[in-house]
């Protein structure tokens, strides 16, 4: 990688890492460490191919989806690493949303990996069904039925979410 390409890569990582970390957090079911591992793995691979990547944002996002699916399909599950002190968390104070976030996180964790990925792609990333189907390697009909079954499952395992539903965007934050 020449100096100009390296500078372009560093600028991309600096500008897009927060959004990509949020995506990784959702894809890993709320596991901060797994999200960091996912993003680092994908960025390391992207750095090796950087000069051949025309549009890095969709490339990295697609690579994250595929890497996470690959990890889900792996024979051995990844295990948590125990540390003496929990990592510091920076950000705004959303304590009033804590119960809602915990309920949603628990409900999403009870979905299959495929169901969670389809919901993240369709509603959090706001991708059209055709693009979700392309990323997931399935038909548009499969995406539609998976979304339908996933939302029905969310409603059945966490009926308390029914009061918080947004009409078109289930991951949108709700203020009391």
pLDDT at 95: 63
Contact 26, 118 (CB under 8 A): no
What domains are there in the chain, each with its CATH number?
A: 3-73 (no CATH), 95-164 (1.10.10.10)
pLDDT at 89: 65
> Residue 83 carries which DSSP code?
-
pLDDT at 99: 75
pTM, two decimal places: 0.51
How confident is the chain (176 residues) per 10-residue block, as mean pLDDT?
88 94 89 91 92 90 89 60 69 65 83 90 90 91 94 87 56 46
57-84: string of b/e by CB count within 10 Å (b at 16+)? eebbbebbbebbbebbeeeeeeeeeeee
Contact 153, 143 (CB under 8 A): no
SS3 label, residue 129: helix
Q: Report residue 65 as tokens.
A: 């989806």
pLDDT at 94: 60
């Amino acid at each position: 990688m020449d100096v100009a390409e390296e500078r372009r890569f560093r600028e991309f990582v600096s500008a897009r890492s927060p959004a990509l970390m949020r995506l990784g957090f959702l894809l890993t079911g709320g596991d901060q460490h797994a999200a960091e591992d996912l993003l680092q793995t994908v960025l390391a691979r992207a750095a090796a191919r950087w000069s051949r990547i025309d549009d890095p944002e969709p490339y990295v996002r697609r690579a994250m989806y595929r890497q996470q699916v690959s990890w889900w399909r792996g024979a051995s599950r990844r295990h948590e690493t125990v540390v003496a002190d929990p990592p510091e968390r920076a950000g705004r104070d959303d304590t009033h949303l804590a119960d809602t976030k915990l309920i949603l996180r628990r409900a999403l964790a009870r979905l299959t990996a495929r169901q969670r990925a389809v919901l993240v792609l369709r509603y959090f990333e706001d991708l059209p069904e055709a693009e979700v189907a392309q990323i997931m390697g399935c038909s548009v009909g499969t995406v539609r039925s998976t979304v339908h079954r996933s939302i029905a499952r969310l409603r059945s395992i966490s009926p308390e979410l029914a009061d918080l539903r947004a009409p078109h965007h289930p991951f949108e934050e709700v203020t009391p």
